[in-house]
């Protein structure tokens, strides 16, 4: 009898344990089902690094000093035997015009024939251009820049000259932002005010020996740079009324934080105040992220 009672008590104990564990598991399941889940986000840190703000524009090379040789009289031009690329010395006879007797024209400088405007024999008017002479290695770059961007270019700004066909990135320096702008119609048919920015090529001549007059290049003009700047990805910023803000990650929660930025480009923003080195922020926050949201890094 005692054994029977013991077995019954043992059985009741197992049942009680089973129901306890079942209720505990059910409570845990309900808690998990209804508890808030963290939003998966991309998180990065405020870093200190070199920061550059640049302006990239298409440009065109041109020879600095071009000498146009023109006919001094009305007459008959003899056929020009020179060709573009031929080397001439100052004082060389390069053309002949009959008026009424043959009148020889001399090269005003030493250099190379850049262009020939009149090659064939025939009548020519006084002042008509025959050919052009220049030193083809003495190049500069002309970039047409929007006026609202040109006003940001500092004096003697450094320039990277890229995508010109060679392997090396050439260096340059802004020599002049011309004092007068002009109107140009963009590819989209929009009137734009642009101004010529003149860039001297500072790379050694042997690095750009293949460049010549009127070649297309791309100029990356450095508007501003700092060696030790606090930066975050531009994608972390959003507008909060009239201020910039980010979602800072604090103890696993998103905290809306207003920040002041001094500069920004397509990739990075330079922080003036509101964040410190090492702070964590959310990059490209979705509409699900609110102030106080529980968040978790997706990586």
Q: List, for residues 143-163, the tens digit of each pLDDT value.
A: 999 999 999 999 999 999 999
**Proportion of the chain above pLDDT 90, given as a percent:** 78
**Does some domain include residue 74?**
yes
Q: What is the pLDDT of residue 166?
A: 85
The number of residues in the chain equals 299
Q: What is the pLDDT of residue 13?
A: 67
**Does some domain include residue 214?**
yes
CATH number at residue 117: 2.40.50.100
Q: Which is it for strands 238-240 and 170-177: parallel, antiparallel or unpaired?
A: unpaired
Whether the CB-CB separation of 118 and 124 falls below 8 Å is answered with yes
> Same domain for 58 and 45?
no
pLDDT tens digits, one per residue of 227-256: 999 999 999 999 999 999 999 999 999 999
Mean pLDDT for the stretch of residues 56-61: 96
> Same domain for 76 and 114?
yes
Mean pLDDT for the stretch of residues 7-29: 70
> Same domain for 164 and 58?
yes
As a whole number of Å, the CA-based R_g of the chain is 37
Q: What is the pLDDT of residue 18?
A: 72
Tokens of 152: 């940001």
> Same domain for 222 and 141?
yes
> Of 34-48, 110-124, 234-248, which gets the smallest average pLDDT?
34-48
**Does some domain include residue 239?**
yes
> Which domain, by its residues, includes 293?
39-50+228-297
> Same domain for 80 and 171?
no
Q: How many domains does the chain have?
A: 3
pLDDT tens digits, one per residue of 252-275: 999 999 999 999 988 999 999 999
Query: How distant, in Å, are the alpha carbons of 38, 104, 255 from that of 292?
Result: 11, 88, 6
Rounded distance between C-alpha atoms, residue 90 and residue 92, angstroms: 6
Q: What is the pLDDT of residue 23?
A: 76
- Give the domain-ending residue among 90, 118, 134: 134
CATH number at residue 258: 2.40.420.20
- Give the domain-ending residue among 100, 134, 168: 134
> Same domain for 151 and 207?
yes
> Same domain for 101 and 148?
no
> Same domain for 105 and 186?
no
Mean pLDDT for the stretch of residues 157-184: 95
Asked whether the predicted pLDDT for residue 209 surpasses 50, the reply is yes
Q: What is the pLDDT of residue 1?
A: 47
Q: What is the pLDDT of residue 205?
A: 87
Asked whether the predicted pLDDT for residue 216 surpasses 60, the reply is yes
Rounded distance between C-alpha atoms, residue 46 and residue 270, angstroms: 10
- Give the domain-ending residue among 101, 134, 167: 134
């Amino acid at each position: 009898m005692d054994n029977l009672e013991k077995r019954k008590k043992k059985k009741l104990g197992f049942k009680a344990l089973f129901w306890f564990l079942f209720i505990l598991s059910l409570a845990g399941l309900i808690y998990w089902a209804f508890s808030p889940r963290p939003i998966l986000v991309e998180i990065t840190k405020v870093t200190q690094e070199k920061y550059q703000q640049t302006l990239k524009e298409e440009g065109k090379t041109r020879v600095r000093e071009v000498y146009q040789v023109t006919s001094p009289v009305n007459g008959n031009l003899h056929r020009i035997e020179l060709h573009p690329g031929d080397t001439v010395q100052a004082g060389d006879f390069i053309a002949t015009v009959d008026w009424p007797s043959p009148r020889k024209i001399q090269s005003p400088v030493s250099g190379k024939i850049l262009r020939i405007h009149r090659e064939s024999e025939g009548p020519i008017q006084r002042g008509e251009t025959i050919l052009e002479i220049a030193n083809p290695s003495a190049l500069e770059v002309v970039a047409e820049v929007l006026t609202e961007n040109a006003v940001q270019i500092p004096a003697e700004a450094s320039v990277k000259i890229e995508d010109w066909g060679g392997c090396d990135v050439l260096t340059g320096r802004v020599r002049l932002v011309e004092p007068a702008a002009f109107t140009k119609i963009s590819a989209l048919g929009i009137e734009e005010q642009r101004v010529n920015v003149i860039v001297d090529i500072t790379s050694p001549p042997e690095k750009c020996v293949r460049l010549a007059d009127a070649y297309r290049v791309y100029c990356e003009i450095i508007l501003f740079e700092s060696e030790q700047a606090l930066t975050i990805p531009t994608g972390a910023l959003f507008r909060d009324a009239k201020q910039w803000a980010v979602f800072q990650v604090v103890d696993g929660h998103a905290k809306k934080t207003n920040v002041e930025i001094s500069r920004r480009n397509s990739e990075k923003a330079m922080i003036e105040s509101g964040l410190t080195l090492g702070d964590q922020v959310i990059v490209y926050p979705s509409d699900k992220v609110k102030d106080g949201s529980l968040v978790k890094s997706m990586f």
